[in-house]
Structure 1
Amino acid sequence: MTAKTSRNTVGRSRRTKGAGSIIHRTDGRWEFRREISRDPATGKRRFIAASGRTKADARERFDAKVAEMERTGLLPGAKSPYLKDYAERWLEEYRLNVKPTTYRTRAGRIKACMDVIGRVRLTELTPDHVRQCMRVLSKRLAPSTLKDHFVSLKMMLDQAELEELIPVDPCRRVKPPRVEPTETKILSPDQPKQLIEAVPNRGAKRRGPAPTVDVDESWMLLFELAFAAGMREGERYALMPYELEQRDGVPGINVQQQIQQYGKPEQAVIPAWLKAEHLYGILWLTTPKTHAAHRFVPISMSLWQRLWARIKRLGIGPRQLIFTNSRGNPIRSSTERYNWNKALEAAGLPPVTIHSARHWTASMTARANMPDDARTAIMGHTSITMTNHYTHRDEASLAKLLGQAIPDLHDDTDIIEAEVIEEAS
């Protein structure tokens, strides 16, 4: 070996295969490096490496890394990792691939499960442990929420199976918690108009310097957009003038953003792939819920003109929020819910949720026999299955459709007139 080759080699000690390498780098630092098994999920090569100013420092850091990887299941160890430790690592990786709101919900579900069975080692986990977890949680959770806990646990254990930490996910051998579907109550076809007209009479507490007429108009327009355009809450709160478009002379809204609660800037973890801009407090301006949620929704010329009249009167810029609170900050769902309930009460209407307005929209499009692809596009759903979930047929429309489908099965000439005789008291 020449002197030049010797200088470029960097002090390296050969060890037995699988033991790794000890490297004395040109900068004077020492490095421990070892190749481990390929990633079962991707097939890519994996390495553990740690460096330090001395060989002892490097070794200490290397051993600490190995211990941490064994604790969370990234590296096979003498013992299988505890379920809670694996969950910690799984959530860290999961966080990078979902929106903050999705992560927050999933993390809460996983933590609740870990409080019950987190001290069980992965390889010792059985279907009975899963059943026990569901029994304990069922005492304080609604059936639909309990099922989502089960689904969250199964997602995590499916990954553990993929990583070959367990032979099979025990959730596969457990029946998911039973959930009886509950139907969302919606207003009848003519009741949304009554609700909107009742806004000025709702008797809500006035806050801030904004004139009452502007505040009333704000809620009337927001509620109308919920029914007439089927927009989600966050989509309505994020509406800006630049989203109002006319296509082939048709006025409409090019829905392309929403407001979500992601947390304060110093606490929120925003994945690199997610476009999100902090607005105020815990509120962020971000992309629609799904790719299908980015859509063009036609609206009436009357609604279009009233939106633009508000924009011009208040001097709202192209990329400023059309709807804000008295302090000029984004609308909060709790504030809208308060004014919604007040308007329902003033109109003498049954209590329904704000989200039921989207169900009303889907139901009215079905009532009009709108094609499935059009209904799905307007709702911003990825499939007609979800749109049908939002659809509720009223008795009048069912009777009309059934009357059109079923021919008259009885001869009117055979009708016998009956006289109703009231008994004397």
Structure 2
Amino acid sequence: MPTTRRTKGAGSVFQDKHGIWHFRRDIGPDPVTGRRRTVEAKSKNKALARQRYEEKVAEYQRTGVLPGAKSPRVADYAERWLADYRTRVKPNTYTTRAGRIKACCEVIGSIRLDQLTPEHIRLTMRTLGARLAPSTLKDHYVSLKMMLDQAELDGLIPIDPCRKVRPPRVEQTKTRILDPDQPRKLIEAVPAIGHTEHRPSDTDDDTETWTLLFEIAFMTGLRPGERRALMPYQLETRRGIHGINVCQQIQRYGTPDRAIIPKWLDATHLWGALWLTTPKTAAGRRFVPLPDGLWQRLHDRIRRLHIGDHDLVFTTHLGRPVSDSNERRHFKAALAAAGLPDVKLYSARHWTATMTALADMPDDARIAIMGHTDPAMTRRYTHRDIVSIAGLMAQAIPDIASDVIEAEIIDEDA
């Protein structure tokens, strides 16, 4: 019997030694990694194997993995792009990006990729801009561009139309921070928060929790999740210097039945939607020195409450991790009790960056303390006041007219 060859690109069909039918097709190398990709379906029943294969091919054509009769719609491609993106980023990063992409798809999701134009991008920005803050809108633009850049690499469009559209304009707003002497007043006001109609009075342990958490926030610049994740084993002494080995943080990833944790991410469930995981970036792993007084107060608490080496130093009266909303509420109450400006809790991190700058700490040391990857970010966290700027100006530029002799004016008509 003569052998017939399948047309090029149709794939192969064969039955292995175990009687399993295979329908397989090579779909070319991955445009990013260069690795070979195939689509395959198998079953003991040849007809079922063919059906599964055809369903996979149809799905790949719908989302743009395989070329089809029509270009995939933006929403369909977004579905595949997000599924891949999810495997490479942390859960919170994915959740934010997915929300941005889905909002864009509400405007242009039904349009086919090869019909997408710069005007569609502008329409999306105008539509979303009617209800979003400028900074949030720009992040939607960045998210859409990330996806369409990949579509360009996949060969589904000749060029990302976002390249022909200017991103939304954003004016940076300055974060308000406390004056150098005001954090002390805030911490001294914590015991005076007292009873409110919405919650019972804090116990002495509760008051100590908030006092120490706020003190750590201003004295170290730790991120909120980093300080709430503090455990006794992280308190180290290196070459006679007391400090915190910042190696973990608490993040809200969702309940175990709903959270999807990538295999590469080290994350342990704590309670509810809270997880113990690694720092934000590799630069987030750092050693931050502590003043001797704060070091001693932390150890006094650990001994008094018999906190184990790998137990949280700060918990609620129910033994649960401190939540962001709970800490923020107490911070606002302490500000009010101390009569201080209403600043954000995260501004404590900006205060630390600013105080280290005012102390003329070298930039590389400041970056190491803050745990930033980009030096520009540390600069954004630094807010010099007019007194500091005036002092620096006086040192750099002396009064050039201070030694000028006043000329005597002679009246010749006298």
Report the TM range for the smaller structure's normalisation.
Answer: over 0.9
Are residues 333 and 13 of structure 1, via their aligned partners in 2, closer, same or farther at CA, if it must alter by over 3 Å? farther
Match of residue 264 from structure 2: 273
> Does the residue aligned with 2:328 lie in a helix, a strand or coil?
helix
Are residues 204 and 96 of structure 1, via their aligned partners in 2, closer, same or farther at CA, if it must alter by over 3 Å? farther
Match of residue 376 from structure 2: 385
Match of residue 359 from structure 2: 368
- Whether the aligned pair in 2 keeps the contact of 1:207 and 1:326 (CA below 8 Å) is no
5 Å-filtered alignment, 1:75-86, equals 75-86=66-77
Are residues 272 and 75 of structure 1, via their aligned partners in 2, closer, same or farther at CA, if it must alter by over 3 Å? same
- State the shift of 1:203 in Å: 2.7
Q: Could you report, residue by residue, the CA deviation over 1:11-32 in whole angstroms, capped at 9, with x for unpaired residues?
A: x985333222211222222111
**Structure 1 CA distance, aligned partners of 2:108 and 2:195?**
47
- Whether the aligned pair in 1 keeps the contact of 2:315 and 2:322 (CA below 8 Å) is yes
Match of residue 112 from structure 2: 121
More deviation, 35-44/77-86: 35-44
- Whether the aligned pair in 1 keeps the contact of 2:194 and 2:202 (CA below 8 Å) is no
Match of residue 203 from structure 2: 212
Match of residue 200 from structure 1: 191
Q: Identical aligned pairs, as a percentage?
A: 62
Match of residue 387 from structure 2: 396
**Structure 1 CA distance, aligned partners of 2:212 and 2:247?**
19
TM value normalised by structure 2? 0.95
For residue 30 of structure 1, what is the amino acid of its counterpart? W
Match of residue 307 from structure 1: 298
Q: Could you report, residue by residue, the CA deviation over 1:383-409 in whole angstroms, capped at 9, with x for unpaired residues?
A: 221100000001111111111111231
- State the shift of 1:314 in Å: 0.4
- Whether the aligned pair in 2 keeps the contact of 1:203 and 1:342 (CA below 8 Å) is no
> Does the residue aligned with 1:408 lie in a helix, a strand or coil?
coil
- Alignment match of 2:58 (pick from 62, 67, 71): 67
Match of residue 9 from structure 1: none
**Structure 2 CA distance, aligned partners of 1:207 and 1:358?**
29
For residue 345 of structure 2, what is the amino acid of its counterpart? I
**Structure 2 CA distance, aligned partners of 1:322 and 1:219?**
12
Q: What 5-or-longer segments of structure 2 have no aligned partner?
A: 408-414
**Structure 1 CA distance, aligned partners of 2:24 and 2:240?**
66
- Tell me whether 1:105 sits opposite 2:89 in the alignment: no
Match of residue 22 from structure 1: 13
- Alignment match of 1:221 (pick from 212, 216, 236): 212
Pairwise CA RMSD: 1.8
Match of residue 170 from structure 1: 161
Match of residue 48 from structure 1: 39
Q: What 5-or-longer segments of structure 1 have no aligned partner?
A: 1-11, 417-425
TM value normalised by structure 1? 0.92
- Whether the aligned pair in 2 keeps the contact of 1:13 and 1:21 (CA below 8 Å) is no
> Does the residue aligned with 1:37 lie in a helix, a strand or coil?
strand
> Does the residue aligned with 2:282 lie in a helix, a strand or coil?
coil
**Structure 2 CA distance, aligned partners of 1:209 and 1:315?**
25
**Structure 1 CA distance, aligned partners of 2:163 and 2:289?**
45
